[in-house]
Amino acid sequence: MTNTLNTISQQEINGFVLYLTSTLLLAVYLGWGLVPDTVLAETGVSYYPSKQWAVSVPVWLLWWIPTTLALYTGINLFRTPSLASRDTVTDDAATVSESGLKSHLMDTPIVAANRALMYSKTNARTFVVPDVKAA
């Protein structure tokens, strides 16, 4: 029987290397952005990007994150069918009731379900199917 407490998985090694790399890159970034140019020149660092990029890149990234989320949400809302569409609850193989409830198994029209669930102001517990033609 193998002792699983002393074994280290490849994921743990990769995670530790990623942690060390990201910590090193953060230290280099903060050193480049916060240390004055004269100190960098004294240590022998002669070529580095402008300090403007130390502020511009994080601002640019912080602008792109909400913009991407807003675009993704907008595209999903644009592609979602309306509440009156049959595509939200049924497919082509389903039988949709033409009016009211019948004795055999069928789908309730989406317009009737929406009216009963979202527009009923009298009593939310009663379910009355209005006489609505299926789309």
pLDDT tens across 46-104, in order?
888 888 998 999 999 999 999 999 999 999 999 988 877 767 776 666 665 565 555 55
Mean pLDDT of 27-47: 90
Structure tokens at 132: 């609505």
Q: Which of 133, 94, 126, 95 is nearest to 112 (CA)?
A: 133
Tell me the whole-structure pTM to 2 decimals: 0.48
Q: Cα–Cα distances in Å, from 44 out to 30, 33, 97, 122?
A: 17, 16, 81, 79
**Percent of all residues in the chain with a pLDDT value above 70, rounded to a whole number:** 70
**Which letter does DSSP use for residue 14 in this model?**
H
pLDDT at 135 over 60: no
